[in-house]
């Protein structure tokens, strides 16, 4: 079943698992469009995957709008675009206007907001009450790497806070939520406690779906393979040998 609207996501709660993969440009989006993937996420992970930066923090709203519009040209699948770092921090108005730009200029079907602080929940309430679907994001929040102190599993010792946040996200109107690097048992509890789909990454198998970074699935980074990466191919090595084959093929003997 195509996931065209948030109501379709709700119907998949506890049903066939929802697959989400990141995309950042037209070429890859067009190929993903021909796959069985349910939805694409234009993640601010583009800071690392596309721009070669050390984190997602430098990514701007303009860049999110630009990459989302490229992806939109390549696929009609449900497209979620990240609200990048600094936007919720700036103000309620700045956050709402970023969401509107992603929908209006880039053709996003929904936006994703990291965290469940009061400012985040306020924005989520306002957007969802005004026709902009929002996906939540809990656990390891790449935009908060400085306060979280690096990539580590969240909710191991105190799952209650995360469970409470998940309930708040649902109440605020989120149609689904990403659970990133959350202890399997906590992710399972959140999945049970909430009636919106949970989309896990590095959070075990009991979530309602999984999201992966495209470059991890394709094996495009020869130097780094995160523990939670579900690598299905080694396209990076294929690309290197294809380029070398091309180089060698034009050498005149
Ligand atoms: O930016 C991103 O790619 C993400 C996923 C890792 C969920 O937020």
Q: Could you tell me if the CB of 82 is within 6 A of ligand 1?
A: yes
Q: Give the list of residues 6+ apart from residue 195 with CB closer than 8 angstroms, or none.
A: 10, 13, 170
Beta strands (DSSP E) in the chain are 18-22, 39-42, 78-82, 110-114, 134-139, 176-180, 198-201, 209-212
89-115 average pLDDT score: 98
Nearest CA to ligand 1 atom 2: 43
Q: Could you tell me if the CB of 110 is within 6 A of ligand 1?
A: no
Domain ranges of the chain: 9-212
Token pair for residue 141? Answer: 């929040």
On the question of pLDDT at 153 being above 90, the answer is no
Residue of 70, 65, 206, 88 lying closest to 136 (CA atoms): 88
Q: Could you tell me if the CB of 213 is within 6 A of ligand 1?
A: yes
- Report percent pLDDT > 90 for the chain: 89
Q: Residue 42, SS3? A: strand
Q: Could you tell me if the CB of 178 is within 6 A of ligand 1?
A: yes
Beta partners for 180? Answer: 139, 201
**Which residue has better confidence, 60 or 154?**
60
In the reported structure, the alpha carbon of residue 244 is separated from the centroid of ligand 1 by a whole-number distance in angstroms of: 32
d(CA 201, CA 153): 11
In the reported structure, the alpha carbon of residue 126 is separated from the centroid of ligand 1 by a whole-number distance in angstroms of: 23
Structural fold of domain 9-212: TIM Barrel (3.20.20)
Q: Is 148 exposed, middle or buried (0-12, 13-18, 19+ CB in 10 A)?
A: middle
How many CA within 13 A on the CB side of residue 79?
Answer: 29
| pLDDT for the residue 147 | 80
| pLDDT for the residue 159 | 74
Q: Give the list of residues 6+ apart from residue 224 with CB closer than 8 angstroms, or none.
A: none
In the reported structure, the alpha carbon of residue 178 is separated from the centroid of ligand 1 by a whole-number distance in angstroms of: 8
Q: Return the active site residues.
A: 180
Please write the tens of the pLDDT for every residue from 65-83: 999 999 999 999 999 999 9
Residue of 191, 143, 148, 141 lying closest to 166 (CA atoms): 191
The shares of helix, strand and coil residues in the chain, as percent rounded to the nearest 5, are: 45, 15, 40
197-210 average pLDDT score: 98
Please write the tens of the pLDDT for every residue from 113-136: 999 999 999 999 999 999 999 999
Task: Count CB-CB contacts under 10 A for residue 5.
Answer: 14
**Which residue has better confidence, 129 or 157?**
129
On the question of pLDDT at 25 being above 80, the answer is yes
Mutate to test the pocket of ligand 1, among 83, 102, 110, 112 (most ligand atoms within 8 A of CB): 112
d(CA 246, CA 241): 8
Global pTM? 0.96
| pLDDT for the residue 143 | 87
- Report percent pLDDT > 70 for the chain: 96
Residue of 76, 98, 100 lying closest to 89 (CA atoms): 98
| pLDDT for the residue 157 | 59
């Amino acid at each position: 079943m195509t996931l065209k609207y948030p109501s379709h996501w709700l119907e998949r709660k506890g049903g066939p698992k929802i697959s989400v993969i990141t995309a950042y440009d037209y070429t890859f989006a067009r190929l993903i469009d021909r796959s069985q993937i349910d939805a694409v996420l234009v993640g601010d992970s583009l800071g690392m995957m596309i721009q070669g930066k050390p984190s997602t923090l430098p990514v701007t709203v303009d860049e999110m709008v630009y990459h989302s519009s490229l992806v939109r040209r390549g696929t009609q699948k449900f497209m979620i675009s990240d609200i990048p770092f600094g936007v919720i921090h700036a103000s309620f108005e700045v956050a709402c206007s970023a969401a509107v730009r992603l929908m209006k200029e880039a053709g996003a079907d929904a936006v994703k907001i990291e965290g469940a602080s009061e400012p985040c929940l306020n924005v989520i309430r306002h957007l969802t009450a005004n026709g902009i679907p929002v996906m939540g994001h809990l656990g390891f929040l790449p935009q908060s790497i400085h306060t979280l102190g690096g990539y580590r599993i969240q909710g191991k010792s105190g799952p209650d806070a995360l469970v409470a946040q998940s309930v708040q996200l649902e109440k605020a109107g989120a149609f689904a939520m990403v659970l990133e690097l959350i202890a399997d048992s906590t992710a399972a509890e959140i999945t049970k406690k909430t009636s919106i789909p949970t989309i896990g990454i590095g959070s075990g198998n009991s979530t309602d779906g999984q999201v992966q970074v495209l470059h991890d699935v394709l094996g495009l980074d020869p130097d780094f393979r995160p523990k939670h990466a579900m690598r299905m191919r080694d396209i990076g090595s294929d690309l290197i040998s294809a380029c070398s084959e091309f180089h060698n093929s034009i050498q005149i003997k």
